[in-house]
Amino acid sequence: MANSGTQARAIPYLFSLPALLLILALLLLPMLISLGLSLTDYTLGAPDVEFVWFENFERIFTRSTYMKMLSATFWYVIIVVPGSIALGLGAALLINSLTVGKGFYRTVFFLPVMATLVAMAMVWEFMLHPTLGIVNEGLEGLCAVPGITAIGFFETGCADGFPHWLGERETALWVLCFIGIWQAVGFNMVLYMAGLTAIPRELYNAASVDGADSAWDRFRLVTWPMLGPTNVFVLTITAIRSFQAFDTVDMLTEGGPSKSTYVIMYAIFEKGVQQNLIGVGTAITVLFMAFVFLLTFLQRYLVERRVHYA
């Protein structure tokens, strides 16, 4: 009898064993390995490996290349996240207020999400070509408009040529941010539209009886608070996806000019894959994982507790 009791206790663990093994093999082990590798000077195919301890991390926080990496990543995230969230919410509110054509606008805004970003990046590259691209051609066309040179941007642009967008240190990162926002807005819009449908109509009725006369009042009293859970989700997802920006950088700038668009994902790729510096590459990866953990932690323990009203 005692034997069968032990068996009965063991059964639940047996059932969860396959899942545990898979989690271990596919998620935890690779993370531990990269954690270990980040402390070495390992390169693929090298005969011997040496522990260099925190030398890789020291490099990341002292060398100017990596400082540029952190700065580019920081600016990319700090611009794309609020930009795409605000525009996504705005688009969702506008589309939601429509009576006809909802499906049309939803599809149009969602197109960049469904399209392959690599292909889209190529189109952007054509459009942003310094001399042949539609952007600069269009801007040059505007030079014919009388008085437009009063605007500083056109004054220099019409005289000395418009910026080379992806080829200049001052503009490249902002152009990438713009494309990042363009791509993320549709996704955020769909999430917000789902969030908006979940708000009970009676709350809006109550708000208008209670004196919330303007659209802004209703937004402040009902829409924004009720979107709390959606906000947290959208914020986390967008932040993580912005940290992961890679395709456009690889296609359009390769981190340049002069490391101005050297975002963290691209740095991992360049160090770890292209230059075969696995040690440094994994060290950056560990840093990246730390960011993502921090974000997830923030979502889980700080924000989520304050936005669910159950």
Partner 1 sequence: MTSLNISNVSKSFGSARVLEDISLTINDGEFISLVGPSGCGKSTLLRIIAGLESQDAGTIALGERAIDGVRPSRRNLAMVFQSYALYPHLTVAQNIGVPLTMRQLSHWERLPVVGRFLPGAAAKRRIIRAAVEEAARSLDIGHLLDRKPGQLSGGQRQRVAVGRALVRQPEAFLLDEPLSNLDAKLRVHMRTEIAELHRTLGATFIYVTHDQAEAMTMSDRIAVMMHGRLLQVAPPHEVYSDPTNIAVAEFIGSPKINTFPAEVAGDGTAIVMGAALGRVQNGYRGAATIGVRPESLRIGQPPGRLAGTLRHVENLGNEYFLHVEVDGLPSRVVARVGHDHAPFSLGAPVGLDWPAGRAHVFDQAGGQIGRVNGAVSPFVGVVNG
Contact set with partner 1 (CB under 8 A) = 200, 202-203, 205-206, 208-213, 217, 220-222, 225-226, 228, 309-310
Query: Distances in Å between the alpha carbon of 196 and those of 92, 93, 94, 98, 184?
Result: 8, 8, 11, 13, 18
Closer of 12 and 211 to partner 1 (Cβ): 211
CA distance 39 to 50: 9
CB of 255 to partner 1, least distance (A): 42
CB of 197 to partner 1, least distance (A): 16
Q: Please give the full DSSP string across 267-288, using - where no structure is assigned.
A: HHIIIIIIS--HHHHHHHHHHH
Closer of 15 and 309 to partner 1 (Cβ): 309
Q: Calculate the CA 121 to chain-centre distance.
A: 16
Contact 265, 249 (CB under 8 A): yes
Q: Does the N-terminal peptide bond of residue 30 adopt cis geometry, omega within 30 degrees of 0? A: no
Count CA within 13 A, CB hemisphere, residue 201. 0
Closer of 39 and 222 to partner 1 (Cβ): 222
CB of 233 to partner 1, least distance (A): 17
CA distance 192 to 227: 8
Q: Which residue has the tokens 């990162």?
A: 173
CB of 20 to partner 1, least distance (A): 35
What 8-state DSSP symbol labels residue 220? I
Query: Distances in Å between the alpha carbon of 299 and those of 151, 154, 229, 236, 307?
Result: 43, 44, 10, 7, 10
Closer of 48 and 202 to partner 1 (Cβ): 202
Closer of 217 and 304 to partner 1 (Cβ): 217
Burial of 298 (0-12, 13-18, 19+ CB in 10 A): middle
CB of 96 to partner 1, least distance (A): 19
Positive or negative, the CA dihedral 253, 259, 265, 269 is positive
CB of 210 to partner 1, least distance (A): 4
Contact 186, 110 (CB under 8 A): yes
Closer of 73 and 231 to partner 1 (Cβ): 231
CB of 144 to partner 1, least distance (A): 45
CB of 234 to partner 1, least distance (A): 18
CB of 82 to partner 1, least distance (A): 19
Closer of 112 and 229 to partner 1 (Cβ): 229
Closer of 13 and 309 to partner 1 (Cβ): 309
CA distance 94 to 51: 57
Neighbours of 260 (CB within 10 A): 20
Closer of 145 and 310 to partner 1 (Cβ): 310
